[in-house]
Chains A and B, each alone.
Chain A
Amino acid sequence: MSAPVDPDVVLQAEDLRVWYGTERGPVRAVDEVDFTLRRGEILGLVGESGCGKSTLGRGLLGLLPEGAARDGVLRFQGRDMLGLSRREQNRLRGNELGMIFQEPLTRLNPLMRISEHFSETLRVHEKGISKDEVERRSLEALRVMGIPPTRFRAYPHEFSGGMRQRLMIALTLVLRPSFVVADEPTTALDVLVEAQIIRILHDLRDTFDTSLLLITHNLGIVAEACDRVAVMYAGKIVEIGEAAEVFRHPQHPYTRELLRSTISLSTTGLNFIEGAPPDLTTPPPGCRFHPRCPDAMAVCATREPSALDMPGGSRAACWAAAARHDLLTLDAEESAPLEREELSVADEA
């Protein structure tokens, strides 16, 4: 099957699923996710802890633990990624797909010099590259990240956290991948370093035309750095669209509540979403957010909403939003407010 390939689309996921095997059966960490990423685009991925953000990011690169599996369609520059052999995947990783991790402190091999990290990465992907070329390219990548060439032969433990994250970015970018996943790259760093790293990531698009999936729980970073944003809840993308539009006119109640929970200087009261995300081995039927949703209707508990284009340009999977914009009509029974038992004390704790 040959889908029309838009040369501008770098990454395309359709009904992508990433499930973990456990003792109790599969955990549906990423369940039927659709999105596309264009050249040079920065897509923010937000959601609570445990909603499947990191799994999605790793799943795109094929970095999955034992017992996990992927299903659906994942195309990278038109190539089917799920059908690739392990070797072909390895060749793409690093070269075309890069990843930046949350905790930079433990991501470098403590027994290897920085120079060895670079030469290993370059030599694996570009057979027969000369020593001078390795050094020239590595130092160039370090220079872009503001790390002096004198420290090229130092060991990882001789660097601070912020510097190590810049090292990791340099190490990811030395091969010029066209797509990079950044998994909460600043969570472990202090605020000033955070701004610096975000600035660097943001500039990547201009320098290298890199597409970036920026996973974060910091909505401020998304507003600052991302073109588009996808909101994940319980393994599903519930809303995706232009960052400005999603923030200004959130369509999904979860997006709205998430935005309301954000603490900023203008915050007057503390908001939070009652309850906790569901257990992903046995997710709730219908819309997965319905047990916690303030707008839940009868239909939400029984049928899963599909993602629909909203008038503002974003897509959301929500019965209430769709009905509000007359994208579909619900009968009186379906649109009746959901009757539910009170949240148990344990859930509130």
Chain B
Amino acid sequence: MGSAASGSLPRYILIRILLVVPMMFVLLSIVFLLLRVAPGDPVTAAVGDKLSPEALESRRAALGLDRPMLVQYLEYLGNVAQLDFGRTISDNRPVLEIIKNQGGATLTLTLGAFLFALLIALPLGRLAGRHRDTALDAVIRVFGVVSYAAPIFWVGILLVLFVITYVPDWPTFGIASAETEFYVPDRTGIILLDAVLANDSASVLDVLQHHVLPCFTLGLLLSGVIIRLVRVNVIQSLKDDYVEAARARGIPERRVVRKHAFRNALVPVITVIGLQFALTLSGAILTERTFNWPGLGNELVDYVTARDYVAVQGLVTFFAVAVVIVSVVVDVLNALVDPRVRY
């Protein structure tokens, strides 16, 4: 009996993964169109004021930028398939190396932010949904709206000001103190993991402390969205038939909310958290800028300011790939959680 249901799960996953191809293709084409075709010559834009015309010409040739657009386009797609995101013009680094070095910081920032967001949003959203239209609900909703409306960098600045005043020793900028960066050997590109691997508890604590403020700031932004969603879903599921049936069996209201309404309200939350990945990336760029966090967002803004089209193209391509992959992972997770999706 269970076999028929679970038998279709691999098929569902396969189809979902096959859908990646056209989506990826469209996104990459948009990126290429915007960042390679539209702006004109990237070499002049980046280093035009530093090099002679002949030197610029040879740089262009070396990068293959003098060939027909179609050739460059196909080559771009081929390179991305091999995880080659190009080389920056301004400082001649492979973009993949930047991703390897700085991606870890962005990863731990976003994961930590999700953790904070869930810790804040799930209980608040449930409370607001259960006590709909009470003063409590109004307060939580306003909190949700404000935490979403507040510019993340402003929240970050205020938190820094607060911490500087009341907890002067707490770290407010960067991902680790200078000593930690110096003593912990880089093995994984994720400094938190490196510190754990080095078995250095002082460093682990230091890195964790550095994570608290940025992750909390970004988490606050996300929690606004999740609070709204959980609240609406709890209100919806409290009207569902099985909730009334549970009440008819004498299940206490608290348990009805927790085990029946809330659990079912969480299923769409997984999907939306996946959709919020784009929002998270936007927020991460700003958070990194605010806390001087050595992540990809910070790098991206630096390269934009340096007018390095190739670097920007490489990083944006990577973000596009990440968006597509996360959407697939979320759908698959969803299928694993909700037994109905497998049909």
Contact = CB atoms under 8 A, between A and B. Distances in A.
B260 interface: yes
Contacts of B1: 150-151, 154, 158
A121 B250 CA distance: 8
Interface stretch (B79-87, B89-97, B107-115, B240-248): B240-248
A90 interface: yes
B247 A107 contact: no
Secondary structure call for the B interface:
helix
A111 B252 contact: no
A35 interface: no
Chain B interface category by residue count: 20 to 34
A91 interface: yes
A127 B267 CA distance: 30
Closest 10 CB pairs of A and B: A94-B250, A93-B250, A94-B249, A106-B241, A99-B248, A107-B245, A109-B242, A155-B339, A90-B250, A121-B249
B340 interface: yes
B249 A172 contact: yes
B230 to A, nearest CB: 16
Given A109-B264, A111-B339, A94 B248 contact: yes
B2 interface: yes
Nearest to B240: A106
Contact of A63 (B247, B260, B343): B247
B267 A111 contact: yes
Contacts of A111: 263-264, 267, 338-339
A95 interface: yes
B2 A158 contact: yes
B200 interface: no
Interface of B: 1-2, 5, 240-242, 244-253, 255, 259-260, 263-264, 267, 338-340, 343
Contact of B249 (A87, A93, A151, A158): A93
Contacts of B338: 110-111
Nearest to A181: B248
Contacts of A101: 241, 244-245, 248
17 contacts: A61-B248, A90-B250, A90-B253, A91-B250, A98-B249, A109-B246, A109-B259, A109-B264, A110-B264, A110-B339, A111-B338, A121-B250, A124-B252, A125-B250, A155-B5, A155-B339, A158-B1
A303 interface: no
Interface in A134-163: 150-151, 154-155, 157-158
Contacts of A61: 248
A95 B250 contact: yes
B339 A98 contact: no
Contacts of A171: 249
Contacts of B2: 154, 158
A120 B249 CA distance: 10
Contacts of A108: 242, 245
A237 interface: no
Contacts of A87: 252
Contacts of A124: 249-252, 255
Contacts of B255: 120, 124
B248 A158 contact: no
A120 B340 contact: no
A112 B259 CA distance: 9
A168 interface: yes
A150 to B, nearest CB: 8
Nearest to B243: A109
Contacts of A107: 241-242, 244-245
B248 A120 contact: no
A109 B248 contact: no
